[in-house]
Structure 1
Amino acid sequence: MNLPGGIWSTRDASDLVSDTEDSEHSLQRSISSVGLTAMGVGAIIGTGIFVVIGEGAKAAGPAVILAFVLAAVTCLFSALSYAELAAAVPVSGSAYTYSYATMGELVAFIIGWDLILEYGVSVAAVAVGWGGNVNAFLDSAFGVRIPDAISTSPEDGGVFNLPAVFIVMAITFLLIRGTRESAKANLIMVGIKIAILVFFIIAALTSFDPNNFQDFSPHGTSGITTAAGLIFFAYIGFDAVATGSEESNNPGKDLPKAIVGSLVISTLLYILVAVAAVGVAPISTMTDSKNSDAPLSAALEAGTGLSWASALLSLGALIAITSVVLVILYGQTRIFFAMCRDGLLPRSFAVIHPRYGTPARLTLSFGILISILAALVPLSEIVKLVNIGTLFAFVLVNIGVIILRRTKPDMERPFRTPFVPVFPIIGVLLCLYLMTDLPGTTWIRFVVWLVVGLLIYVFYSYGHSRLRTRDRDQSGTAA
């Protein structure tokens, strides 16, 4: 096995696109521009805005508003790079596929393996959070709760997290049923959660007090920067739009609009919600530890006296989390599908169901594995892998834009990132800065996972890669 000679092999973008024409291993184009944008908003607006704003307020005070702006700008540079590559290489796989076309097979495998973990852990963690929000909603609306024995993991004092299993398997069967149906369901959920956030903004403005903005930045620039680092992860999710490249009706036009558009829509909502939350009640309301699980509800109730608003915002959080589970699980299956189709993982998983037009076997397998993880394992520590995995993917996508501009200058690009290489370099530096702030244990787990992946690549993926099996087949035919 001559590993050093072939691990940097790249695949031409046209070659990657031609693989999508194989009917047995190709996905159906069925998602509109609106559906793609809703995917991005669905993945971005989750528990982040309902919970993380309180943590950001602790660090920055009322200047948490600026922290939302700074975090959005940080994401924008990477979003522009994603938009260019998604339009130029409209194939499932997101950062994995782009790395294959620019930096070679080994780098592509590493980022694909990384994204499988990132998305899988994210879905499991969000599903656990969904179970917690079910109890919060039932408690605030009806005064009842699901017993801890069947709503928490063994380590948290329960036996089995039934709500988490329910939501993962429900979304799994929806994804198996069809991409068009899944996109429609997500669009409805996105509409509802946006409506609930708009309600919060309007209700808060009726009791708006400008005095709450005094001592605007109590901890100075460092507080804003710290808060931006926390809030950054409320923006993660726009990259999931790129996993829908192959199922987009018009990828060249729709993907850039959806990636950048979903980030802009979410940013505007986040900033308006932050302004309303600071204005409706003293900042101490959101930073109080007893309100850490529902800072928006606490602020609205304290400022307006709307006690029933807590139940409404709990419902909003529940719907928000459901759409996140849908979009992130969808993204994970498409990345794994692309790796299987390329032969880096078992190709049998890349078979499309003849009736539903989806990778049903693969989707069901992931649904079961993630359900087990969500039911039995507390994810308070391992979920940190989501952060480092996302930032690592962002770094490679930004680098990929620079490389592809140099190696394929005449390649058709329906969307072009402005000011290359300056903008991608800024994107890389911002991501690296945030990565340095992650704890050492996160880096250790990340490296262990990558080592496991490298062993799989050496002993399985390299020999089964379509780059080499196709070459061997062609050599045999020629002989």
Structure 2
Amino acid sequence: MHTKGEWIKLENITLKRSLGLWAIVGLGLGYMTPTIVFDTFGIVSKGTNGVVPLAYITALAVMLFTAISYGKMVQVFPNAGSAYTYTKETMNPHIGFLVGWAALLDYILLPMVNALIIRIYMVSVFPSVPSWIWVLIYVAVVTGFNVWSMGKTSNLNTFLVAFELVLIAVFIVLAFVQFSHGMGQGTILTTQPIFHSNVHLGPVLTGATVVCFSFIGFDAVTMYAEEAIDQKTMPKAIMLTVLIGGAIFFVAGYFAQALFPNVSHFKNTDDTLPEIGLYVGGAIFKLIFLSGAFAATVASGLASHSSVSRLLYVMGRNGVLPKKLFGYVHPKFRTPAFNVILVGAISLLAIAPSLELVSSVINFGALVAFTFVNLSVVAYFVFRQKRYKTAKDVFAYIIMPIIGAGSTGILWSNLHADALIGGLVWAGIGFLYMLFQTKFFKLKIVDLEFEEADSTSAL
């Protein structure tokens, strides 16, 4: 147990600034998991009537407006709390808490999704080994790295992301070979993966809602704001992450859709990556492709695990969550060790659920965060800074964020019923917790002075 004096010293320990621009972009891409396009291909292709790349382009268009809003807000509030911090500071602490609570849903569940995907991969290769063993080993390794060092985590993540990009390039080369043999559309020069007679707006928007969780990563890089060597690189890191990630998703999705116009080839549409590898390159490439996907999932696990740990850290540092636990920074490793271990424990739940169910619920929290980041731009620049007197300001601080919020709202309307129900239940729990902590709004939800002083010392 720490004495009171020791706790005061521990509270003065800040996160270590060790991340450059490309390290942050790498963490964002690792978080996004480029190979996830192959995992969810069957689900999205079936739901969109065979236009997976169109769903990704639609989601990317929405994400670009939101990415611009993130870039604006991270310059104003260079803290690790992302949507939670922006909403709390520009609107209302209570609304900020609820947005942060909703965002926790996707941030907490994404590490579990990675553990779940690892389970699926390993069971496909070693069907006789109990699936829970793979989840336990994976979670232990990722948790250990995140407790140890953010720098070490970043380095390993960069290596894994580079490896998976090489594998995607190999997949594209093999796709050309299969086209020459008449597989799928028989050519890359076809519009069928993007548009055909059975394409309808509703299913495409539903597909875009599903794949938007693949973009969770460009927003998560704002969690590293207090660990960036140069704070000014954050907006550039956000845009690079979403543009590079979106391009990878589109190209990979286009080739996959041209090879597999429908899902009739697949035995398991819940995760089609192993079968795609088998059909495109044979049994040997299936194993190599799985290894790349494994690397991608581990990279995403490292990045997503570290991101949610830092969101919990900011909420704990503010006193929204118990400060001595969630606001704790390990004195030697300078990482939020308690939060890292907690996220690891939650990730162990991946022993049971299905990928489609968890990924649909994740989108609720993501869309809440995206909507309020766009609205935060209006709240801060228009209502607080009075930046509405020129055409340039009106375009930058009213029109663009409103388009971002509105397009996100369109995705909202196409959320899966399970995602909406699960998200509303989670939001209800958060609201009850807020009532309890504030004694029905008699107390403040956040100690703003503490966070401002702490974030300043961290710079």
Cα deviation code 1:415-473 (max 9, x no counterpart)? x9963311211111122221222244433332332222223223225647553897xxx
Distance 1:166 1:325 in 2: 13
Equivalent of 1:327 in 303, 311, 316: 303
Distance 2:345 2:188 in 1: 51
1:58·1:287 contact (CA, 8 Å) conserved in 2?
Answer: no
Give the CA RMSD over aligned residues.
Answer: 2.9
Give 2:414's aligned residue. Answer: 437
Residues 177 and 418 of structure 1: CA distance in aligned 2, closer, same or farther (over 3 Å): farther
Give 1:240's aligned residue. Answer: 220
Residues 384 and 276 of structure 1: CA distance in aligned 2, closer, same or farther (over 3 Å): closer
| TM-score (normalizing by structure 2) | 0.84
| TM-score (normalizing by structure 1) | 0.80
Distance 1:301 1:374 in 2: 25
Q: 1:383 deviation in Å?
A: 4.8
1:212·1:283 contact (CA, 8 Å) conserved in 2?
Answer: no
The count of aligned residue pairs is: 425
Cα deviation code 1:116-162 (max 9, x no counterpart)? 232222222321221111222xx2xxxx4342xx31xxxxxxxxx22
Cα deviation code 1:15-40 (max 9, x no counterpart)? xxxxxx99625211111111100111
Equivalent of 2:437 in 460, 476, 479: 460
Equivalent of 2:196 in 209, 217, 232: 217
Q: Percent identity?
A: 25
Equivalent of 2:261 in 276, 283, 303: 283
Give 2:6's aligned residue. Answer: none
Q: 1:405 deviation in Å?
A: 0.6
Q: 1:354 deviation in Å?
A: 1.3
Which secondary structure does the structure 1 equivalent of 2:29 belong to? Answer: helix
Give 1:154's aligned residue. Answer: none
Residues 429 and 380 of structure 1: CA distance in aligned 2, closer, same or farther (over 3 Å): same
Distance 2:13 2:102 in 1: 23
Give 2:5's aligned residue. Answer: none
Correspondence list, 1:254-403, <5 A: 254-279=233-258, 281-284=259-262, 286-290=263-267, 292=269, 295=272, 298-299=275-276, 301-302=278-279, 306-349=282-325, 350-371=327-348, 373-375=349-351, 381=357, 383-403=359-379
Q: 1:384 deviation in Å?
A: 3.0
Residues 213 and 409 of structure 1: CA distance in aligned 2, closer, same or farther (over 3 Å): same
Which secondary structure does the structure 2 equivalent of 1:308 belong to? Answer: helix
Amino acid paired to 2:226: E
2:110·2:362 contact (CA, 8 Å) conserved in 1?
Answer: yes
Give 1:18's aligned residue. Answer: none
Residues 292 and 59 of structure 1: CA distance in aligned 2, closer, same or farther (over 3 Å): same
Cα deviation code 1:255-280 (max 9, x no counterpart)? 1121111111112222222332244x
1:212·1:282 contact (CA, 8 Å) conserved in 2?
Answer: no
Deviates more, 1:185-194 or 1:422-431: 422-431
Residues 96 and 294 of structure 1: CA distance in aligned 2, closer, same or farther (over 3 Å): closer
Q: 1:410 deviation in Å?
A: 8.1
Q: Which runs of 5+ in 2 are unaligned?
A: 1-8, 180-185, 388-392, 451-459
Distance 1:299 1:424 in 2: 38
Question: Is 2:24 the partner of 1:36?
Answer: yes
Question: Is 2:99 the partner of 1:111?
Answer: yes
Give 1:68's aligned residue. Answer: 56
Q: 1:102 deviation in Å?
A: 0.6
Give 2:382's aligned residue. Answer: 406
Q: Which runs of 5+ in 1 are unaligned?
A: 1-20, 152-160, 471-479
Give 2:154's aligned residue. Answer: 183
Distance 2:213 2:35 in 1: 10
Residues 282 and 111 of structure 1: CA distance in aligned 2, closer, same or farther (over 3 Å): closer
Amino acid paired to 1:260: M
Distance 1:86 1:123 in 2: 24
Distance 2:212 2:94 in 1: 29
Q: 1:55 deviation in Å?
A: 3.0
Equivalent of 1:249 in 229, 232, 247: 229
2:56·2:250 contact (CA, 8 Å) conserved in 1?
Answer: yes
Question: Is 2:136 the partner of 1:165?
Answer: yes
